[in-house]
Amino acid sequence: MGGNEVKLATDHRQSDPAHGRREGVVRNQVVPRRHPGRWVAVVLILIIAMQAVQGLATNPNFHWGTYYEYIFSPFVMRGVGWTLLLTVVAMAVAIPLALGLVMMRESGNPILRSAAWCWVWFFRGTPVYTQLAFWGLFAVLFPRITLSVPFGPELISVDSRWIVTPAVAAIVGLGFNESAYLAEIFRAGFRAIDRGQTEAAQAIGMSQAKIWTRILIPQAMRTIIPPTGNETIGMLKMTSLVLAVPFTLDLMFATNAIANRTYLPVPLLLVAASWYLVITSVLMVGQYYLERYYGRGHDVIVVKGGPN
């Protein structure tokens, strides 16, 4: 009995923080883990980066004088504007089309499902350059666009060149191709939502339109925004293919035209790359804020520190 009392008293003394401080004992001291490999990696990266910068800055073959001469050229700035316009309008065409395709794929009508599947199959299965080339040849293949009664008189007839201009052909070609990819992204986002929510909405009498606009789309945006942002950046760079239409006002054509005139392709390629990087950076910032807005309540909160 006496031994037990002594042991309990000893345990109490050891667990007493004040007693530990009197004896100079420091408990629960966290020693940071050392990472010498990180410092070695930082040094190596800095050395490589400085070597790369020095090589780029001192290499006369890059013709930096020509680069600075044309970086803000009016011809180049017009190309930047048209590239942005093509990107925005093509995505504005692709997003509603993709939503319509998703609704058709999820419809109970087999004809609508088959039509949506064929659309996705065709535009995902053929190269976008080929699609743009055919849109550029639309006026050759169909010289006139007509509206007529089947097997009857012609009501309206318009020259195709007035409707399908190079700008329209570029936008339609890019938008239709992108809609097939966005449709699969949107479908994956909607499939990630618990089907019970749709069933609950149907049980309380909500219409199909309200189910899509008030339940499915707001929840799917959290999943849809990141890949859609990536597709928008891809669309920006895909505008360089509109020469197949041919559309001759975009950024890539503008820099290529100057390069052909000056016989200096490298600095003009750097001009185009610089503007693409600037626009992509702005789009990435917008994507970040959209992700943060639609991720409210779902983002993981990291609590720094711990209990005292």
Domain spanning 63-294: CATH 1.10.3720.10? yes
Contacts of 130 (CB under 8 A, 6+ apart): 244
CB 132 within 8 A of CB 170: yes
pLDDT of residue 31: 78
Query: Where are the chain's structural domains?
Result: 63-294
Q: What is the DSSP letter of 106?
A: T
The residue among 286, 289, 104, 81 whose CA lies nearest residue 179 is: 104
Block mean pLDDT (10 aa), the chain, length 308: 46 50 61 84 93 87 92 94 95 94 87 94 94 92 82 78 91 95 90 81 82 81 89 93 90 93 92 95 91 71 45
How far does Cα 260 stand from its chain's mean position? 32
CB 285 within 8 A of CB 293: no
Residue found by looking up tokens 């990180």 in the block: 38
The residue among 216, 264, 246, 201 whose CA lies nearest residue 70 is: 264
